[in-house]
Chain A
Amino acid sequence: MGFPVLSAIVLTPMAAAVIILLMPDKYTREAKVIAAATGAAVLAMALFVYFNYDVSAAETAAAEGQSSFQFVEDVPWVEALGISYKLGVDGISAPMVLLTALAAFTGVLISWGIEERCREFMAFFMLLVAGVFGVFVALDLFVLFFFYELAIFPMYILIVTWGWKVTRVYASMKLTLYILVGSVIAMVGVIAMYFVAGEATGIYSFDMEHMIAASQSGAFDQVGYLGREGLTFARFWFPFIFLGFGVLAGVFPFHNWSPDGHVAAPTAVSMIHAGVLMKLGAYSALRVGVQMLPEGARVHLPWIVFLTLINVVYGAFIAFRQRDFKYVIGFSSVSHMGLVSMGWATMNEIGMMGAGLQMFSHGAMTALFFACVGMVYDRAHTRDIPSLGGMVQRMPWVAVAFIIGGLVSMGMPGLSGFVAELPIFLGVWNAAGVTLTVGSFTLSNYYPVIAVIGALGIIITASYVLRVVQQVFFGEYNAEKYGELPDITVLDKIALVLLVGSLIILGVYPEIMAPMVQTSMLPIVQVLAGGA
C-alpha cells in the first residue's frame, strides 16, 4: 500500500481545523491562508485520485460483477464488532471527492471577506469538508455514519452563527432535525443489515464489500422476514434506508429542509450544502440502499420514481415564483436533485450513468449559483429579485458566470447539464419494461410518461432561469439606490473560473468522466437485473 492519499484527503482539513482553532484570535489572515492552502492541497490530491483511478481495472472487475474500489486503506478499528477504518473509491465516488474538493477550495476563496469571527468560520468549514470527504471515501458503514454525523455538527454551527439573521435559527434547526431523523432511520436499517448479514455469513462486519458480497449471496432475500410470507429483509428495509438517506438528497416530501437551509446558510456553506451535501444523500442511498438491497430496489423504486418526478416538476414550479434570489436556487436544487434520484430509479446503465454525471454537474453548477448569489448579495445587500437589476454593468463576471450556470441547468448542449440529463431521459425512456405491482394492481410501460412529464421541468427551469437573468442582471440599474457597487475580487474570479471551467470541460468532453462512472454503475445494474 502506497501513500494513504484518501486518509490524507480526509485528515488534512481536519488537522487544519484543529490548527486554526488553536491559533489566537488575531491571526485571521493566517487562518484564511491555512484554509486556502488546505483547499488547494485537497484539490490537488483529489485530482490525483481522479486521474489515477484505473478504469480498465474497473472494467475487468465489472465483467465479473464486482465493484472496483481503489486506493483502499484498511486498518482494523473495533475488531470485536467488525468495524475497521476502511477507505476506498470507485468511479462513482471519485468524481464526488473531486467535486467536494472543488467546492471546498472555491468556498474558501469566496469567503475571504468574512469579517465576523473569520477564524472560527474557517475552522468549522474545514471540519465540515472533512466530514463530507469521509462519507465519500468510506468503505465501512460505521465509518460512513461516523463522518455523516460529523458533517452535520459543523453545518449547524456554521448556519446558526454566520447565517442570514432572519431565518438562521429556524433553518438550522429544521435542517439538522430532518437530516438526523433520516440518518437515524437509515442507521437502524444498517444495524439490522449488520445482524442479518452476520447471521447468514457467520461474519459480523460493517465492511461494505463484505455487505455487498453478502447481498449477492442472497443474505437479504430470504422470504419470511418478520414472520410474513413473501416479505424479505430487502423488501422491508429498502424504503427506510433509501428514503432515510434520500432526505439529504431532498426527495419529496422530505425536501423542505433544503431551500430554507440553503438560504439561511452563509455563501460558502450553501455551496457545500447544496453542491455536495445533497450528493451525500444520493450517493449513500445508491451505495447502501440500491447496491446492497437490489431486491428491495426492484420492488420499491418503481413507485419511488413518482416522488422523484414530483421533485423535478414541483421544485421547478416553486422556484419559478420565488422573489428571493437565493430561494430560486434553493428550489432549483430540489428540482435537479430529483433527476439524480430519478436516474437511480431507472435501474439501467444509461440512466444511472447520467445520474452519476448529474451529481457532479449539479454540484458544480449549484456551487456556482450560490457563489453568484452571494456576490450580488454581499454588495447590493438585498436578494429581492424585483428590486435588483442591471447588475451586468457592475459585475459582468458574475453575470456571465450565472448565465453559464443557468444554461447548464436548462440542459444546453456543450455544457455539463446536457451530458448528464440526456442519458437520464434516455434511461427513463429505456426503462419502459419496469412494472409496478401493488397487490393485484399492475402498472407497466409508464416510465416514458414519467419522462414526458419530467421534461416539463426542463421548460419551467428555462423560464425561472431566464426570469432571474432578466430581472437581476439585465434591466435597468438603479444607480440611485445602489450607487457605485464594487466589482468582485480576483479571488472571486478565480473561484468562478474554476467552477465554470469544470462545467464546460465536462460538457464538451464527457469522456473525461463518463467511462469511469459508467463502469462503476455496471455491477450495480447487474445486481439490479439479477432477479428480474
Chain B
Amino acid sequence: MTTQELLTWLIPIPPLVAFFLIVLFTARSRALSTLLAVGSMVISAVLGFSVFFIGISTEHLGAHPIESAIDWLSVGAEAIKIGVVVDPLTVIMLFMVPLTATSIFVYSIGYMAADPRYSRFFAFISLFAGAMLTLVVADNLLLLFIGWEIMGLCSYLLIGFWFEKRSAYRAAVKAFLTTRVGDVLMLLGIAYLYSATGTLNFHEVLRNPEMLESLAAPSIYLGGGISTAGLIGLLLFAGTVGKSAQFPLHVWLPDAMEGPTPVSAMIHAATMVSAGVYMVIRMYPLLSIGAEPHEGIFSPPMLAMGLIGAFTALFSATIAVAQNDIKRVLAYSTISQLGYMVAALGIGAYIAAAFHLITHAIFKALLFMGSGSVIHGMEHGEHHAHHEGHHMPEGFNPQDMRFMGGLRKKQPITFWTFLIGGMALSGFPVVTAGFWSKDEIIADALQQTQMGHGLGVFVFVMLVAAAFLTAFYTMRQIGMTFFGKPRSAAAEHATESVWTMTAPLVVLAFFALVTGFVGVHPDFPILGAILSPGESSPFHEFVGGTLLEHPEALPFNPTAVATSVVVALGGLALGWWVYVVRGYKEATQPDPVQGVLGGWLYSILVNKYYFDELYEAIFIKPAEWFAEKVAYLFIDRGIIDGILHGIGRIAIWIGYLFRSFNTEVVDGVGDGIPMGIGEFGAWFREIQTGKIQQYLLMALVSIIVIGAIFWFGG
C-alpha cells in the first residue's frame, strides 16, 4: 500500500474512533469529548487536505486514480470488495467536506455549550462526519451506501436530539422514513447493477466502455422498453430524491430543522443532502448511457433528473418566499438549490453540477451557521429581556424573523458573513462563488434552449424563475432579520455570539467569495484571461478528467451571463425595496407578499402546498388501516385463526363421536383422547398441564394412518 493509499484509508477513521471513544469512555467529560471530537476532525481534515493537494498536483488523476481495496464479503469465487479511490471528483469533495465539517465542529463548541447532552452531540456528529468521509472516498456503491445509511441514522439521532420535544422526535422519524423510501429503491438499483455486471466498483463499471455498452442493451424487465442502465439509473436516482429531498420526497427536510443548528448545517450543506447529488454525479456515466445531450437525446434517468430537479428548484423557492422561520427559509432554499444541481445533471451539465455542489455547500453551511448565531443571539436577548421585566409578545419564537429586525448593529460579524452567504446564494455578480456556479448551469440550460431541445427549455425557464425568487427571498430574509428596527425585546437585547461561533463564519465567508474563481470561463471579460489561462477553467479541466471522455467546454455566452446578472440583481432589488426600504414595522403586520398574492394563494405557500396533509391522507392512513383492519384483524385473526378454530370445533365433534364409540367398544383406554380434544376447543379455559401425551399419541396414530395410506396406496 502506498503512502497515498494509506492516507486515503485513514481519512474517515479518526471521527469514527472518536465516536466510539466518546460513547464508551469520555461521555462524562465535556472537555475530553470536545478534544476528541474536534481533534479527530482536525486530523481528518489535515489528511483530507493532504490528499487534496496530492490530487490536484497529480497529472491524469482521472485515468490513474489512487485505488486500494480489500475483500469484505465472500460471495462465490468473487468477494464483494470495499475500498477507497481518489479521482478528481473525490479530490474536490475532499476540499469541501473537511472544510465545512471542521467549521461546524468548532462552531458547535460555542453553540452547544449550554446543552446537557453536549458529549453525546459530539459523538453523533463525529459518526456523521466519519460516515460522510467514508462515502466520499468509497470506491464502490456498496461502501458508498454504507456511509449513506450511517448518515441517515445519524441524521435521525441528531434531528431527534432534543427527543423530549414531541415535534423533534416526529421530525426525526419522518426524516428517517422518507429517506428510507429512496434508500430502499437505491438498494434495489444496486442489486440490479450487481446482477447485471457482477461488480459494484465505480471504475470497473464507469470507465469500462464495454461494460457501459452492455448496459445499454434493453432491460429484461418492463417489456424491454428501457435499457438496463436506464432502469438502474432510475432506481439509483430514487435514492437521491430521498436523500437530497427532491420532489416528491422533499417533505422531511424542513421538519428536520427541529435539530440543533449545527446539525442543520451538517445535514443540509456539507453532508447528507450533498451526498445524494454526489452519488448521481458519481454515477453519471451510467445514468447518461445512450444520451447525447447536445443532440437533444436524453436517457430516462436524465429526463427524470431534468424534470424533477427543475420543478423542485422552482417549487420550493416559492415556498421559501412565505416562510417566517429563519431556518426553514434556508431549508427550502437548500431543496431548491439541490434541484439546480439535479437539473443540471439532467441536461448533461456534469461540470456545472459538481461546481455548484461545492460552492453551495460552503455558502449554505455559512448561512445555516449564521442563522444559528442569530437564534443564539435572540435567545440570549430573550433571557436578558426577561431579567429586565420585558414580556415577549404572544407567539414569540426566537427563530421567527417577524420578531427580529435591526440585528446588524447587534451582531455585526454575523451580519456581514450572513450577507456574504446570502449574496452568494442569490448569485450576486462576479464577487461571489454562487454567481459563477449558478451562471454555468444557466449557460448550459440556455445553450440547450437555443438548440431548441424541449428539456433544455423547461430547465432554463424554471431555473431562471427560481433564481429570481432565490434572490428575492434571500433579500427578504436579510431585510427582516438585520435591517429596520428591532421588533421585539429579544431582538433589542440580542448580542453577538462567542468567537468559536463567529470564527468559522469568517472562514466560510472567505471561501464563499473566492471558491468561484476556479471556474471562470476563459472568455469572460478581463477575469477570464487572469484566472483561466487554459482552454477551459481549471475546475473544468480538472474535474472533467473523472469522465472517460473529457467533456467539452461551452463557448462563452454573454446572454447567459446577462440573464444571471439581471435576475439576481432584479430579485435582490425587489426584496430590498419591499423588505428594507418599505420594511417590516410590526411583528404582527401581514407580510407584504400576502397582499400581492391574495390570501388563499399565500396560505397555500405557507402550508407548503399541503403535501404533509396529502401524504398523511393517501399513504399513512391507508397503510395503518390496511395493517390493522385487513392484515391483522381480517386475514390473520379472522381467516387463518378462524379456519384453525373451525378445525378445533370439528375435532371436538369427532371427539364426541369417538367417545361414544369408545365407551361402547374400548373401555376406559381411549377416554383421554376425546377429552383432550374437547378441551382443545375450550381455548381460554384452564386445563391441567401434562395432557400433551395425548397429543403425542394422536400424532403417532395419524402417522400410522397416513403412512399406511401412502404405503398401500403408493
Give A contacts to B, CB under 8 Å: 149, 153, 156-157, 160-161, 167, 169-170, 173-174, 176-177, 180-181, 184-185, 187-188, 191-192, 195, 225-226, 253, 256, 314, 317-318, 320-322, 349-350, 353, 407, 410, 412-414, 418-419, 422-423, 425-426, 428-430, 432, 445, 448, 451-452, 455-456, 458-460, 462-463, 466-467, 470, 474-476, 510-511, 514-515, 518
B72 interface residue per 8 A CB criterion: yes
C-alpha spacing A518/B77, complex, angstroms: 10
**Chain A neighbourhood of B181, CB < 8 A:** 459
**Chain B neighbourhood of A514, CB < 8 A:** 73-75
C-alpha spacing A459/B702, complex, angstroms: 43
List 12 additional contacts besides A192-B714, A429-B192, A463-B177; criterion CB under 8 Å.
Answer: A226-B714, A318-B631, A320-B624, A412-B149, A422-B142, A425-B187, A426-B195, A429-B188, A474-B160, A475-B169, A514-B73, A515-B74
Least CB distance from B295 to A in Å reads 32
C-alpha spacing A104/B75, complex, angstroms: 31
Residues 548-583 of chain B: 1 if any A CB is under 8 Å from the residue's CB, otherwise 0? 000000000000000000000000000000000000
Give B contacts to A, CB under 8 Å: 71-76, 142, 145-146, 149-150, 153, 156, 160, 163-164, 166, 169, 173, 176-177, 180-181, 184-185, 187-188, 191-192, 194-195, 220-221, 623-624, 626-628, 631-632, 635-636, 640-641, 644, 680, 683-687, 689-690, 692, 695-696, 699, 702-703, 706-707, 710-711, 713-714
| 6 closest cross-chain pairs (CB), A and B | A413-B146, A429-B191, A321-B628, A317-B627, A321-B627, A455-B184
**Chain A neighbourhood of B191, CB < 8 A:** 425-426, 428-430, 451
Chain B, residue nearest A180 (CB): B699
**Chain B neighbourhood of A156, CB < 8 A:** 692
C-alpha spacing A413/B135, complex, angstroms: 13
**Chain A neighbourhood of B164, CB < 8 A:** 474, 476
Least CB distance from A521 to B in Å reads 10
Chain A, residue nearest B679 (CB): A173
**Chain B neighbourhood of A353, CB < 8 A:** 74-75
- B692 and A470 contact, CB distance less than 8 A: no
**Chain B neighbourhood of A428, CB < 8 A:** 191
Least CB distance from B119 to A in Å reads 14
A and B contact pairs by CB, cutoff 8 A, 5 listed: A314-B631, A414-B146, A445-B221, A460-B623, A463-B177
**Chain A neighbourhood of B156, CB < 8 A:** 466
Least CB distance from A223 to B in Å reads 14
Chain B, residue nearest A508 (CB): B72
Chain B, residue nearest A351 (CB): B75
Least CB distance from B628 to A in Å reads 4
Least CB distance from A400 to B in Å reads 9
Least CB distance from B703 to A in Å reads 5
Q: Select one of B149, B635, B685 contacting A413, CB under 8 A.
A: B149
Known contacts A407-B153, A462-B180; A511 and B627 CB within 8 A of each other: no
Known contacts A153-B692, A192-B714, A317-B626; A350 and B184 CB within 8 A of each other: no
- B684 and A170 contact, CB distance less than 8 A: yes
Q: Chain A interface mostly helix, strand, loop or mixed?
A: helix
**Chain B neighbourhood of A445, CB < 8 A:** 220-221
- A432 and B220 contact, CB distance less than 8 A: yes
C-alpha spacing A318/B181, complex, angstroms: 19
**Chain A neighbourhood of B153, CB < 8 A:** 407, 412
Least CB distance from B704 to A in Å reads 10
C-alpha spacing A223/B156, complex, angstroms: 58
Q: Select one of B221, B626, B628, B703 contacting A187, CB under 8 A.
A: B703
Least CB distance from B709 to A in Å reads 9
**Chain B neighbourhood of A181, CB < 8 A:** 699
Known contacts A432-B220, A448-B221, A518-B75; A318 and B176 CB within 8 A of each other: no
Q: Which of B73, B173, B626 has the most CB of A within 10 A?
A: B73
Q: How many A-B residue pairs have CB under 8 A?
A: 168
- B689 and A157 contact, CB distance less than 8 A: yes
Chain A, residue nearest B625 (CB): A321
- B188 and A455 contact, CB distance less than 8 A: yes
**Chain A neighbourhood of B169, CB < 8 A:** 470, 474-475
**Chain A neighbourhood of B686, CB < 8 A:** 169
**Chain A neighbourhood of B150, CB < 8 A:** 412-414
Chain A, residue nearest B703 (CB): A184
- B75 and A459 contact, CB distance less than 8 A: no
Q: Select one of B73, B173, B632, B706 contacting A321, CB under 8 A.
A: B632
Known contacts A459-B181, A466-B177, A470-B169; A188 and B680 CB within 8 A of each other: no
Least CB distance from A161 to B in Å reads 6
Chain A, residue nearest B153 (CB): A412
C-alpha spacing A425/B689, complex, angstroms: 44
Known contacts A350-B76, A412-B149, A470-B169; A426 and B194 CB within 8 A of each other: yes
- A318 and B627 contact, CB distance less than 8 A: yes
- B145 and A184 contact, CB distance less than 8 A: no
Known contacts A153-B692, A256-B641; A188 and B707 CB within 8 A of each other: yes
C-alpha spacing A347/B185, complex, angstroms: 23
- B703 and A180 contact, CB distance less than 8 A: no
**Chain B neighbourhood of A426, CB < 8 A:** 75, 191, 194-195
- A518 and B76 contact, CB distance less than 8 A: yes
Q: Select one of B75, B176, B628 contacting A350, CB under 8 A.
A: B75
- B695 and A177 contact, CB distance less than 8 A: yes
- A459 and B636 contact, CB distance less than 8 A: no
Least CB distance from A305 to B in Å reads 16
Known contacts A349-B76, A466-B176; A184 and B702 CB within 8 A of each other: yes
C-alpha spacing A246/B212, complex, angstroms: 43
- B177 and A459 contact, CB distance less than 8 A: yes
**Chain A neighbourhood of B683, CB < 8 A:** 169-170, 173
C-alpha spacing A249/B46, complex, angstroms: 52
- A321 and B684 contact, CB distance less than 8 A: no
Q: Which of B169, B187, B626, B635 has the most CB of A within 10 A?
A: B187
**Chain A neighbourhood of B706, CB < 8 A:** 184-185, 188
C-alpha spacing A414/B166, complex, angstroms: 29
- B74 and A511 contact, CB distance less than 8 A: yes
Chain A, residue nearest B691 (CB): A173
Known contacts A191-B707, A459-B181; A180 and B71 CB within 8 A of each other: no
C-alpha spacing A345/B665, complex, angstroms: 50
- A423 and B188 contact, CB distance less than 8 A: no
C-alpha spacing A180/B153, complex, angstroms: 43
C-alpha spacing A185/B702, complex, angstroms: 9
- A455 and B628 contact, CB distance less than 8 A: no
**Chain A neighbourhood of B641, CB < 8 A:** 256
Least CB distance from A395 to B in Å reads 16
Least CB distance from A407 to B in Å reads 7
Q: Select one of A318, A413, A419 contacting B636, CB under 8 A.
A: A318
**Chain A neighbourhood of B142, CB < 8 A:** 422
C-alpha spacing A156/B160, complex, angstroms: 43
**Chain B neighbourhood of A412, CB < 8 A:** 149-150, 153
- A459 and B173 contact, CB distance less than 8 A: no
**Chain B neighbourhood of A518, CB < 8 A:** 74-76
Chain A, residue nearest B700 (CB): A184
Q: Select one of A169, A321, A510 contacting B624, CB under 8 A.
A: A321
C-alpha spacing A521/B636, complex, angstroms: 34
**Chain B neighbourhood of A195, CB < 8 A:** 711
Least CB distance from B136 to A in Å reads 16
- B76 and A448 contact, CB distance less than 8 A: no
- B710 and A192 contact, CB distance less than 8 A: yes
- A320 and B714 contact, CB distance less than 8 A: no
C-alpha spacing A322/B624, complex, angstroms: 11
Least CB distance from A433 to B in Å reads 9
- B687 and A169 contact, CB distance less than 8 A: yes
**Chain B neighbourhood of A460, CB < 8 A:** 623
C-alpha spacing A374/B106, complex, angstroms: 43
Chain B, residue nearest A55 (CB): B74
- A455 and B173 contact, CB distance less than 8 A: no
Chain B, residue nearest A237 (CB): B710
Q: Select one of A153, A192, A317, A467 contacting B631, CB under 8 A.
A: A317
**Chain A neighbourhood of B692, CB < 8 A:** 153, 156-157, 176
**Chain A neighbourhood of B76, CB < 8 A:** 349-350, 518
